[in-house]
Structure 1
Amino acid sequence: MDDAGYEVSVDRSNVSVGERVRAVLEKQLIPWLLAKEGVNPTIIAKITGHRKLDRILHYTSQVAAEDILSKLGGV
């Protein structure tokens, strides 16, 4: 599990490398990009198929906090 609580590992026995990469992208990169663009967390949950909105809310707030901190660090 990563910091946002997403399970990103994929069973390697019957899955191709491309499918594993896609699974990681769907679980991490797509929500991150959408959160950076300010997309509503409920929309992100719908797009990614997550059932637990609290994880999406935690993740988007984490992305927002990191963005604010990086802007403050550049001042």
Structure 2
Amino acid sequence: MGDVRQLYHRLDDWVRDRSRPEYALLVGSASAVAVFATGVVMGEAMAFEAAAMGVSMAVFHYAFNPHHER
């Protein structure tokens, strides 16, 4: 369990060290892949929805920068 927790903290630190545009692109890409994969599993064509989700998440995270610590 300690290895999993250590891996999680290393990944979390790496993600939080990204610049604002890198973080936004990372979140947008992960969102698009998740929506596309969900569509594939459900047997539906969701390419447009995946692209729209990816772009909207990237724009939101770039504009509002919610991971920024005060």
TM-score, normalised to structure 1, is 0.36
As a proportion of its length, which structure holds more helix? 2
Which structure ranks higher in relative contact order (CA pairs < 8 Å, sequence separation ≥ 6)?
2
